[in-house]
Amino acid sequence: MNQVVIPLEATGLSRQRKRRQPKGRQVDAAALAEVRVALGDMPRRRDLLIEHLHCINDRYGQLAMPHLVALASELRLSMTEVYEVATFYHHFDVVREDADGQIAPPPALTVRVCEGIACELAGAQALIDKLPALLGTEVRVIAAPCIGRCEKAPAALVGQNPVDNATAETIGTAVEAKAVRHAPEPHIDYDAYRRDGGYALLKALAGGGLEPDAVLATMEDSGLRGLGGAGFPTGRKWRIVRGEAAPRLMAVNIDEGEPGTFKDRVYLERDPHRFLEGMLIAARVVDVAAIYIYLRDEYAGCRALLAEALQQLQQDPPVARLPRIELRRGAGAYICGEESAMIESIEGKRGMPRLRPPYVAQVGLFGRPTLEHNFETLYWVRDIIEKGAEWFASQGRNGRKGLRSFSVSGRVRRPGVHLAPAGITVRELIDEYCGGMLDGHAFYGYLPGGASGGILPAAMGNIPLDFDTLQPYGCFIGSAAIVILSDHDSATQAARNLMHFFKHESCGQCTPCRTGTAKTLDLIRQPKWDLAALDDLSAVMRDASICGLGQAAPNPVDCVIKYFPHELA
């Protein structure tokens, strides 16, 4: 049977439909001009995308679609690349046009009230419920994940300015004052630090009076381990990265988003140059070409303080040939406390953890070997080198070595950062450092390692607090964030608070974490828990999640089932 072929032209159809305009959203000239004003003379680099988004968000109060289109054009990126980053981070307000093509005006002011575990214990939910009616429709009130001020709970941010021990009245006063910038805490400035011997070790290292190998040996002998949570031996990490091919880079993690953790903020507010000297000593021993400091966005006061300290270093350097130092601003994502997610964020991407191997020490920032450290680890470098490895190693109790900075919050008289011997028990910590329990409160339970470290009853309050001592009980110390519960509290409700946090902060990359945290939260909100289903979820999340968030998220729930069964009866 013969086919009849009809010419395309005879059908009235064209071979190629001509577009009336180029594909995709078009750049608005006015929006492009506004973006260029917001960015000023900043370099137009791909890795600075998050910094550029902050500039626009700060200036205009939101990220409107015309600005995102214009930014994509300015950086020569696809709209997808810009949009996926802008919508990943909690602190970017991405708005879209309504049906009439109009863009909603930004709120006059945003108030973020922390709903973390310490703030919930202090009455944050009642505050969140009360504020909208008090502040009116012009002020947006948001329940926010932990903002790192747990010792002053409940805490809030009015704009970028903290309100400690917040009440409806103090927040209202801050709103009326138009959120005047929070005054920096009294701290040791550059001149005072230099007068007290600051940067002398760095000068000796640069001048040959102190050998890098000697410094490295001291760090190894001290037994100092990473104080961000993982606990990897510091000296060994320096040696591993130093053995990799140059150029080597360094990334410093000050994104302490773990509920209950605030030690880095407290030390940074007191003595920023002690940290910077430790950082520069590590950089010189390992011979890194550039340093990137990643600071969480909630710490606006610390950002101003650190920026000033870095400027002082550049204007009056204690030694020649300082490495290039860049201060990067987070945007509200707990997951960026994970080292590879932080590196992705520094590169201007979504903060999603990488699969390993390769490890950051081998293939890190921009594909180069990278020395990654927590703030507090570097804070102790000067003391250890000056006083000797034995000084640090000789501290400790119950067979443990070293000092730990415990961030203590909850039902104690003196919450705060308490420097105590590694291996101290929580009962000793409460009695000797925290002034005991609050009046009318009896010790009931505690979180030994922040949100992900599990929950233990008071009957298990004599376990030494240090690396490797809590794992047999299904817990870990992490960054030493201790939250104290009393007989006024419930471990079950604490677990609900913590799982709500994990669900909110999951990056969504892997199904076990993304779906597991949501399903677990649904199950534990029920009056009667389905223990078999929770056990299955816990196993899958631990075995199959990409990073520590999903792997550790079941800890609080598992601990309630194991150690607080009376609450489930």
| Three-class DSSP category at 472 | helix
Q: Do residue 196 and residue 169 come from a single domain?
A: no
- State whether the Cα torsion 564-565-566-569 is positive or negative: positive
Which CATH number does the domain housing residue 84 bear?
Answer: 1.10.10.1590
- Residue 8's pLDDT is what? 54
| Spatial separation of the C-alpha atoms in residues 326 and 305, rounded to whole Å | 14
Q: Which helix (H) or strand (E) holds 269?
A: helix 263-270
| pLDDT at res. 4 | 57
Residue where a domain terminates, one of 177, 199, 231: 177
Domain harbouring 414, CATH code: 3.10.20.600
Domain assignment present for residue 1? The answer is no
Number of domains in the chain: 5
Helix spans in 436-565 (H) = 491-505, 511-524, 531-544, 548-552, 555-563
506 CB contacts (<8 Å, ≥6 apart)?
335, 513, 514, 517, 549, 550, 553
CB atoms within 10 A of CB 78: 11
Residue 277 located in a structural domain: yes
292 with 150, same domain: the answer is no
* 508 phi-psi bin (left φ>0, alpha ψ -120 to 50, beta other): left
Residue 233: per-residue pLDDT: 95
Q: Cβ(254)–Cβ(264) under 8 Å?
A: yes
pLDDT given at position 95: 92
- Domain boundary (387, 416, 445) is at 387
222 is a domain residue = yes
**Residues 372, 510: one domain?**
no
pTM of the model: 0.94
Strands of the sheet with 416-421, listed across from one edge: 416-421, 403-410, 481-486, 443-447, 456-457
CATH code, domain with 355: 3.40.50.11540
Closest CA to 467 of 560, 415, 401, 378: 401
Provide the pLDDT for residue 114: 98
203 and 118 housed in the same domain? no
Q: What CATH number is given to the structural domain containing 135?
A: 3.40.30.10
pLDDT value of position 183: 57
Shared domain for 258 and 120, answered yes or no, is: no
Answer yes or no: is 253 within a domain: yes
| Residue pLDDT, tens place only, 321-377 | 999 999 999 999 999 999 999 999 999 999 999 999 999 999 999 999 999 999 999
| pLDDT at residue number 9 | 57
What residues have CB less than 8 Å from 174, skipping those under 6 apart?
A: 158, 161, 163
Residue 553, domain CATH: 1.20.1440.230
Residue 24 in any domain: the answer is no
* Residue 98: predicted pLDDT: 78
**Looking at the structure, do residues 373 and 242 belong to the same domain, yes or no?**
yes
413: domain range?
403-467+477-485
Of 95, 117, 137, the one marking the end of a domain is 95
Q: What is the pLDDT of residue 25?
A: 82
Asked if residue 4 is part of any domain, the answer here is no
Q: Do 495 and 489 form a contact (C-beta atoms < 8 A)?
A: no
Is residue 210 domain-shared with residue 356, that is, in the same domain? yes
Shared domain check, 372 and 305? yes
The answer to whether residues 365 and 295 belong to one domain is yes
Same-domain check for residues 261 and 333: yes
Q: Is residue 315 part of a domain?
A: yes
Answer yes or no: is 337 within a domain.
Answer: yes
State the pLDDT at residue 151.
Answer: 97
Name the token pair of 15: 């071979």
The pLDDT value recorded for residue 181 is 59
298 and 426 part of one domain: no
Q: In what order do the strands lie in the sheet with 156-158?
A: 139-144, 109-114, 156-158, 161-163
Domain co-membership, 266 together with 379: yes
Q: How many CB atoms lie within 10 A of CB 85?
A: 22
Q: What pLDDT is attached to residue 103?
A: 84
Residue 174 confidence (pLDDT): 93
pLDDT value at residue 455: 98
User: Tens of pLDDT along the chain (569 residues)?
Assistant: 555 556 655 555 555 555 565 667 899 999 999 999 999 999 999 999 999 999 999 999 999 999 999 999 999 999 999 999 999 999 999 998 777 778 888 888 999 999 999 999 999 999 999 999 999 989 999 999 999 999 999 999 999 999 999 999 999 999 998 755 555 678 999 999 999 999 999 999 999 999 999 999 999 999 999 998 888 999 999 999 999 999 999 999 999 999 999 999 999 999 999 999 999 999 999 999 999 999 999 999 999 999 999 999 999 999 999 999 999 999 999 999 999 999 999 999 999 999 999 999 999 999 999 999 999 999 999 999 999 999 999 999 999 999 999 999 999 999 999 999 999 999 999 999 999 999 999 999 999 999 999 999 999 999 999 999 999 999 999 999 999 999 999 999 999 999 999 999 999 999 999 999 999 999 999 999 999 999 999 999 999 999 999 999 999 999 999 999 999 98
Alpha helices in 89-195 (DSSP H): 117-121, 124-135, 168-176, 190-195
